[in-house]
Structures are given as structure tokens and as C-alpha cells.
Amino acid sequence: MNDMTAGNDAAARQDELSDAIRAQLRPQWANIARSAAILSVIVLLLALSYYPTEMNNWTRLLTGNAFLDSMISQFLNPDFTSLSLYIRKMVETVQIALWGTVLAIIFGAPLALLASSNIAPAWVVFPMRRLMDASRAINDLVFAVLFVAVVGLGPLPGVLAIFVHNLGIVSKLFSEAVEAIDARPVEGIRTTGATRVQEILYGVIPQVIPLWSSFSLYRFETNVRSATVLGIVGAGGIGFTFNEAFKGFRFEEASAIIIVMVVTVSLIDMISSRLRKMLV
């Protein structure tokens, strides 16, 4: 009798399992309709922007163009005669990115604490987050144009542009890390009668340092790429040299500069990736 009962229970469980599996395999029409609606909106937006963005002229890339053919042939024969100059300018670009990133970290860390809802009161968090939004919303190239007008040509506008733009990005990333901490160590420190500053120094900072370090390295390697562009508007670095070569139709030199950029950025990316894996 016990064997029969056990067999019946097993069969019942098997039927329930089969029903559950069939229910999961059954088409979820509501989800399908929602996905189809979203896809339709995306397709409609693409269709409406097809002619305004002149996507209908993509065939120009395939038609014969003497200037394009000449440019490509010159790009395929890079001229490294001024390689030492390109390397110096690339080093300057890295230095611009380094200074801009470090300044953003120094000023972004306290702003991140003020923008964290588990650290600061709501009346402080709201304006700090809006300040970060404004800093991130304006591209660093726009900041570079503004600072060139204020302080003149050279690397300083590039440093300031990267600093101000990344201030919002760094503080946003840092504040998200702070809001994700384990609250128990902070509560334990609080029970000892520690001050608010001590809670942050000994309960919050040790938890977020690995993530903060990883974010900082990532922003640095991103800023190196950004700094190569800022020189186009006169904010120093190799971008200015590239812009001069390109405007002068010296495409062999422009090609050599691009190769120097790619090699440098690739090396920094590889080193940064290894360091981030060690930190997180």
C-alpha cells in the first residue's frame, strides 16, 4: 500500500511538473505584443529619420570618387618622418587626460558622498545630483571650446574640459557605489559612539575603495581617447597636430598620427584592464 501511495504521489508530482513546463512553453501573448509594439516604435522612428539624416545617400560611399581614392592611398602609406613629434604630442595628450582625471576624482569623491541618499539628507542629495547631471550633459568638446576662449590655446583648456565633464561622471559612479554598500559595518561603528565623519572614513570608504579605483582607471583610459579629440579645437595634445595635417591634406602624416594614437590607447587599455581585474 505504501508503495502504491508513493507511486501515486510521484505521478501527481510529475503531472504538476509537466503542467508547469507546458505553462512556461505556452506563448506569452502579452509579452509578445509588448515587444512587438516597442519594435514598431523603433522602426517608425528610424523611418521618420531616414531622409533627415540623409541615409538615402549611403551609396556615395560606393561610387567612384577620385578624392576618396587618393586619400585612401595616402592613408595606406603613413609617413613617420616626424615620429618623435607625434610621440611627444601623444605623451602630452596622456598627461592632459591624467590631470583631468585626477582632478575629477579629487573633487568628485566628496560630491559623491553628498549625492548618496544613504549618507546625506534629501535636501543635499537633490541639488548635488542635478549638478552632476549638468556636468555630464555637456560634452567635453564643448567645454574645451569654452575654456580655449577663456584661457587661450594649449593643454590647460583640455585639462579643464576633461575635469569638468568627468566631475559629473565620476561623482555619479562613486555615489552609486556608496549607495550599494553593506550598512552593517557602518551601524557597528555608529554603536561605538563614532562621529558621522568617522562612520564615513572607517565604515564607508574601505568598502568602496576597490570600486572607486576600478572606476577611476576606466575613466582615465576613456579620457585618453577623449583628449586625442580635444586638440582639434586647440586644447593641446596630438589632436591639434592631426587636425593641422588633415586640413593640409597631408594624409600620410595623418595616418601615422592615427597609428600612434591607436597603439598608445591600446597599451593603456590593456594595462588598465589588468589593474581593474586586480582591484575588483
For residue 69, pLDDT over 90 is answered with: no
- pLDDT of 107: 92
How far, in Å, CA of 156 to CA of 158, rounded? 5
- pLDDT of 200: 80
Arithmetic mean of pLDDT, 269-279: 78
- The percent of residues above 90 in pLDDT, for the chain, comes to 14
221: how many CB neighbours lie within 10 A of its CB?
20
Residue 211's pLDDT band (boundaries 50, 70, 90)? confident
Nearest to 176 by CA among 202, 210, 211: 211
For residue 104, pLDDT over 90 is answered with: yes
For residue 17, pLDDT over 70 is answered with: no
Where in the chain are the domains?
2-61, 73-279
How far, in Å, CA of 181 to CA of 208, rounded? 7
- The percent of residues above 70 in pLDDT, for the chain, comes to 87
Report pLDDT digits (tens) over 55-65: 877 777 666 56
Arithmetic mean of pLDDT, 191-217: 82
Report pLDDT digits (tens) over 110-127: 998 888 888 888 888 888
Mean pLDDT for all residues in the chain: 82
- pLDDT of 10: 55
- pLDDT of 78: 84
- pLDDT of 6: 52
Nearest to 99 by CA among 223, 268, 218, 212: 223
Backbone region of residue 237 per phi and psi (left: phi > 0; alpha: psi in -120 to 50; beta: other values): left
How far, in Å, CA of 242 to CA of 229, rounded? 9
- pLDDT of 166: 92
Lowest mean pLDDT among 139-148, 198-207, 220-229: 198-207
How far, in Å, CA of 270 to CA of 277, rounded? 11
Report pLDDT digits (tens) over 152-200: 888 899 999 999 999 989 998 898 888 888 778 777 878 877 777 888 8
- pLDDT of 20: 62
DSSP letters spanning 193-210: T--HHHHIIIIIHHHHHH
How far, in Å, CA of 222 to CA of 205, rounded? 24
Grid cell in block for residue 211: 570600486
Strand (E) or helix (H) holding 263: helix 251-279
The domain over range 73-279 is classified in CATH as 1.10.3720.10: yes
- pLDDT of 101: 93
